[in-house]
Amino acid sequence: MINLNSFIVSIAGQGNSIIYVVLFLIIFCETGLVIMPFLPGDSLLFLCGSMAALSNSFFNIQALIILLSVAAILGDSLNFEVGKYFGRSFTQPKWAKWINAAYLKKANSFFKNYGASAVFLGRFAPIIRTLIPFTAGIGKMPYHKFAFFNMCGGIVWVSFVLLSGYFFGNIPLVKNHFELLMIVIILISLFPIVLFKFKKSQHSTTHSMDLKRSDLDEKK
């Protein structure tokens, strides 16, 4: 990951427009190819955002947001189609070398817990981000529902991390503690998942209490 980030910095420093193609392909593959969850997502977006904030930067933040949002949306769309038509084959033992069974199990569990919202929320969870659309495809989620959460998730995820880098990436304290900052970014990005789970738990508790009250009223 570090070498890849250095490579990005090097090409961008040369003012070579091919860098936009490279970034598009990395985000597309990270979200679209179920065998490549190891590619950088959050760290790469944050780095590009911080570089775009420099006065002499070759990057344009608006172009990055648009281009990489499209890459993330198309990537998930491809992943969904692969899961839909070939997912069962890829879960066979012969593919275990390429698709981590433990990660796939976590993605399945995540998808069962959050339903269609998992497509949006999964964007903010490294590794799971690559496996959720694949799992949604295997589960035969209606495409119109998948497409809605895919577009929302792709735009929000890319914009959030790029703009975090744009506004905070060049602060000396942040630059000197980049690894710690990425942990903070991941924790913050996981906040929607925690909030969703909390609200779901509250709803279940309220529903359970209502049922108990209803039972008591009937007994009376």
Residue type, 31: T
Q: pLDDT category, 1, cuts 50, 70, 90?
A: very low
pTM of the model: 0.80
pLDDT, greater one: 106 or 209: 106
- Kindly report the average pLDDT of the chain as a whole number: 82
pLDDT tens-digit readout, 188-214 = 666 666 666 676 666 555 545 555 555
pLDDT tens-digit readout, 61-102 = 999 999 999 999 999 999 999 999 988 888 777 777 788 888
Determine the pLDDT at residue 2. Answer: 47
Q: How far apart are CA 32 and CA 192, in angstroms?
A: 22
pLDDT tens-digit readout, 35-46 = 888 888 888 898
Determine the pLDDT at residue 48. Answer: 92
- Which of 109, 95, 166 shows the shortest CA–CA distance to 139? 109
Q: What is the mean pLDDT of residues 150-165?
A: 93
Q: How far apart are CA 7 and CA 9, in angstroms?
A: 5
Sign for the CA dihedral angle at 160, 166, 172, 177 comes to positive
Q: How far apart are CA 103 and CA 128, in angstroms?
A: 7
Q: pLDDT category, 163, cuts 50, 70, 90?
A: very high
Structure tokens at 180: 């710690």
Q: What is the mean pLDDT of residues 25-53?
A: 90
Q: How far apart are CA 105 and CA 91, in angstroms?
A: 10
